[in-house]
Amino acid sequence: MKRKGWWVLSLAYLVLVVIVATFVWPQNQTLALVLPVSDAILFVGAIGCGLAAAGIALWRLRKERQRLFAETHQLERVIQEQQEFRRTLNHELRNLITAISTGLEHLNDGCDARTLTRCKTDMERLSKLLETVNALGRLETDPIEFTSVNLDEIIQQVLDVVTATPAASDRRFEVDLPPGPFPLPAVRGNEDLLFIALLNLLDNAIKFTDKEKGKITIRAFDDGSTVVLEVCDNGIGIREEDIPNVMKPFFRGQDARDRVGSGLGLYQVRKIVERLGGKISIRSKVGEGTVVPIRLPVSNVTKS
Amino acid sequence: MNATAGYILLVEDEPGIREHLTHILEKAGFRVSAPADGETAMELIKAGKFDLILLDIDLRKWGMDGRLVVRDMRYEGDQTPVILVTGQYLSEADEVVGFEFGADDYIRKPVSGEVFVARIRSLLHRTEAGKRPLARFPKLNAGPDRPLVLGRRTKDAFLKGRALHLKRKPFELFECLMLHPDEVMSREEILDNLPANWINDPRIIDRHMAPLRKALGDDPKSPTYIETVHAEGYRFIGPVEGEE
């Protein structure tokens, strides 16, 4: 509304100036009768104001154009990412289907328990892949209920689930939260989604740490307007050249290829964080470990 | 092989799935009728001689919708147990509607033959001797001396007369488990029976299981109500009775 008002005003002013300049002033100098200034000054003033108005209008137009450019660029990036996703998904599906169909052909020559098991695992992977892709799609389109979330509760719930699994049994888990007088503020988010995101990060941390020496720290602190939630591990780390790609769908780091996984875990975390209006990054050193910090907006609703 | 395991009507428009399922079900000892077109399927449903109907939700090749078929059946007073087989890519709105149409169980494709047979067996078991399926009762009760009451319409639960004050999701989880007593349900199977606004990640079940157990005062190590079956899922310890 505000923007439109400006346009109408500057346009109306320009029209007025043109009318005054072309009809009123040269013919009978009516304005001089009404106002005690010389026509020349009046004319120059009017033209000046008109130019200023036009200038403002142009400046706004430029800003608008810049905004549109940025938006288009953003959209292009989204489209590009989706195309890339589709291509890779297509490739993954093809691979699995090829594996299954060759397995079935092999079975045609006679039943063989190993091939049968192999086919079954591939089938399960295919089915799991479809589920994840479906979940990712829904993550983009389903409405989300935003609430005030106490991260300390979510951290505890995730730890309860994770430590109950045999894979986690030997790792050491540490939780580092701000102490007593200044507790962690609630964040604006969705409990279920944050639970899944943190669970995925812990899965990764477990997957890439050593059984006995593995230490995983969940840290959270705030800087007034955002809360940072970090999962740190002392695992195998990620190679520098792989770091820019680890958040991309289906990407698997060079050192991760011999471990099970779809390559969608971290991508899903990124999608969740983005949908919740947060930011995610990753830092890692080969042989030393990885830190994944997530920034989430502080909730402006105080939770009782 | 037991020839009297049950007479099943398989309504599925995809010939490949129809063939395989018929084979699996027959191998499991069921008598199967699998019509090859929509009209025959509708006639067979109307004739009503089946112990259970396996109904695909998305019968677009036949121009039919499984949910509407169940709704019409229930409207006409047909109480045959129905398992709705859902696809992967229904939108949220679609699925929510499905839950209100009166099916007794939901299985999501793709699924293994074993799971299919197990789910059919337990539904048949729950409805044997003309017993009304639990999904058709507004209230459920369970536990020794029936101290646990769940109101499905009123969305409340009581233990020894004391209200449990469950949040929405733990309540839905509780209801789903109570509707499948003595059945080991994987997290995926549980999710298939929950409304579509649940996040499509099986591990979210664990998050909502914790407050449910806490409210029930149930110790996971020696449970009275909900048992964790390692590497498989959860089981609600029956029996569960329906109540008006």
User: What's the Cα-to-Cα distance from A92 to each of A99, A126, A262, B92, B126, rounded to whole Å?
Assistant: 11, 9, 10, 26, 42
Interface membership of A165 toward B (CB under 8 Å): no
Q: Is the pLDDT of residue B170 over 50?
A: yes
* Contact between chains at B203 and A157 (C-beta distance less than 8 A): no
Structural domain spans, chain B: 7-130, 137-243
User: What's the Cα-to-Cα distance from B183 to each of A30, A286, B21, rounded to whole Å?
Assistant: 96, 47, 22
Per-residue pLDDT, B2: 44
Q: Is the pLDDT of residue B35 over 60?
A: yes
Interface membership of A199 toward B (CB under 8 Å): yes
What is the C-alpha to C-alpha distance for residues A171 and A163, in angstroms, rounded to an integer?
Answer: 9
Contacts of B89 in chain A (CB under 8 A): 134
Average pLDDT over residues B158-178: 92
**Residue A245 burial (C-beta neighbours within 10 Å; 0-12, 13-18, 19+):** exposed
Q: Is the pLDDT of residue B159 over 70?
A: yes
Positions in chain A short of pLDDT 50: 1, 303-304
CA atoms within 13 A on the CB side of B65: 10
* Contact between chains at B200 and A135 (C-beta distance less than 8 A): yes
Per-residue pLDDT, A304: 42
Per-residue pLDDT, A262: 77
**Residue A302 burial (C-beta neighbours within 10 Å; 0-12, 13-18, 19+):** exposed
Average pLDDT over residues B93-112: 70
Taking the CA of residue B44 and the nearest CA in chain A, the distance in Å comes to: 32
Interface membership of B114 toward A (CB under 8 Å): no
Which pTM value belongs to this model?
A: 0.78
What is the C-alpha to C-alpha distance for residues A5 and A9, in angstroms, rounded to an integer?
Answer: 6
pLDDT digits (tens, 9 = 90+) for B51-100: 999 999 888 889 888 888 988 898 888 888 999 888 755 555 455 555 56
Q: Which among A127, A142, A196 is the nearest to B201, CB-wise?
A: A196
Amino acid at A196: I
Prior bond to B239 cis, omega within 30? Answer: yes
Say how many C-beta atoms besides its own lie within 10 A of residue A226's C-beta.
17
3-state percent helix, strand, coil for chain B, nearest multiple of 5: 40, 25, 40
Between A38 and B183, residue with greater pLDDT: B183
CATH class, domain A147-297, is alpha beta
A25-34, A56-65, B174-183, B211-220: least confident range: A25-34
**Is B137-243 in CATH node 1.10.10.10?**
yes
Interface membership of B19 toward A (CB under 8 Å): no
What is the C-alpha to C-alpha distance for residues A162 and A181, in angstroms, rounded to an integer?
Answer: 29
Taking the CA of residue B205 and the nearest CA in chain A, the distance in Å comes to: 10
Structural domain spans, chain A: 2-71, 147-297
Contact B192, B106 (CB under 8 A): yes
pLDDT tier at B30 (50, 70, 90 boundaries)?
very high
Greatest Cα pair distance, chain B, in angstroms, is: 52
CATH of domain B7-130: 3.40.50.2300
Average pLDDT over residues B123-134: 78
Query: What ipTM describes this predicted complex?
Result: 0.79
User: What are the residues whose beta carbons fall under 8 Å from the beta carbon of A243, sequence distance 6 or more?
Assistant: A282, A283, A284
Contacts of A122 in chain B (CB under 8 A): none
Task: Write the secondary structure of chain A as one string of H (helix), E (strand) and C (coil).
Answer: CHHHHHHHHHHHHHHHHHHHHHHHHHHHCHHHHHCCCCHHHHHHHHHHHHHHHHHHHHHHHHHHHHHHHHHHHHHHHHHHHHHHHHHHHHHHHHHHHHHHHHHHHHHHCCCCHHHHHHHHHHHHHHHHHHHHHHHHHHHHHCCCCCEEECHHHHHHHHHHHHHCCHHHCCCEEEEECCCCCCCCCCEEECHHHHHHHHHHHHHHHHHCCCCCCCEEEEEEEECCCEEEEEEEECCCCCCCCCHHHCCCCCCCCCCCCCCCCCCCHHHHHHHHHHHCCCEECCEEECCCEEEEEEEEEECCCCCC
Q: Which among B110, B198, B204 is the nearest to A195, CB-wise?
A: B204
Average pLDDT over residues B126-150: 83
Q: Is the pLDDT of residue B1 over 50?
A: no
List residues bridging with A233 in a β-sheet.
A216, A290
Interface membership of B230 toward A (CB under 8 Å): no
Interface membership of A195 toward B (CB under 8 Å): yes
Contacts of B206 in chain A (CB under 8 A): 160-161
